[in-house]
Amino acid sequence: MSEVLVERPRDGVALVRINRPEARNALNGRVRVLLAEAFTDLAKDADVRAIVVTGDQNAFAAGADIKEMAGVGAADMLLRQAHLLWQAIAACPKPVIAAVNGFALGGGCELAMHADIIIAGEGAQFGQPEIRVGIMPGAGGTQRLTRAVGKFKAMMMILTGKPVSAREADAMGLVSQVVPDAEVLDTALKTAETIAAMPPVAVMQIKEVLLAGMDAPLSTGLMLERKAFQLLFDTRDQKEGMQAFIEKRKPKYEGR
């Protein structure tokens, strides 16, 4: 069976599942390639409007595969161009929801932070323990984590390598919602289903503008927001949405 499974559990929703339970879903090279391929394909699929990425009940992804990395040299690591595989997820124009049970450590935590929404189980743990094996985060951990929780929380997590609980992660702004462990996937799928029912062009514009504006001056972010807002008035979905509101009926969005 493939190490990454892609399912279509609900209308407009794709589920990407990491399938290495024997290794706590550690992200080896094969898994990263398969994740990149899955997200590249789903980004182009007009029938997919939201994506959920998950592992299993015991682990979302417990970091990189250390056995695969232990003997690698700097030049070999450079030539792997692993950042291009991560970019396929980061550049996905559709909303990505991480459904996290158990361990989300190292690359697993970085994968979760590539998502737009994180639903965590009460027993989930988030951490960047790379320092404990002589390295540091290399797929956005120092940058995305700092932007999510601030310098002082990020420094504590990365320099000590100690994980935080789901409740701690929620308090520091690292996750969107904490639910009972047994409800994580269903909550993520329901959230994705809700988003999938929204006008797709507006959804993608919101994601694009929000992410681009995070690292831009406020004036630039507001300009991007204003232009995207104006452009949406040329979509069929805007006309349908407002007409449905006036007529007090459920809108039917086409993604145009």
**Which residues are catalytic, by number?**
64, 107, 110, 130
**Amino acid type, 36:** A
Site of tokens 């935080």: 164
Tokens representing residue 177 in the block: 């919602």
Longest CA span, the chain: 65
Task: Write the DSSP assignment of 127-154 as a string of letters.
Answer: E--GGGGT----SSHHHHHHHHH-HHHH
Tokens representing residue 201 in the block: 């062009």
In whole angstroms, what is the distance from residue 121 CA to residue 218 CA?
A: 34
Are 154 and 123 in contact by the 8 Å Cβ rule? The answer is no
Are 85 and 209 in contact by the 8 Å Cβ rule? The answer is no
For residue 14, which of 61, 47, 55 has the smallest C-alpha distance? 47
CA distances from 93 to 89, 127, 149, 166, 209 (A): 9, 26, 24, 27, 11
The dihedral sign for the CA sequence 54, 185, 58, 2: negative
Tokens representing residue 88 in the block: 């396929």
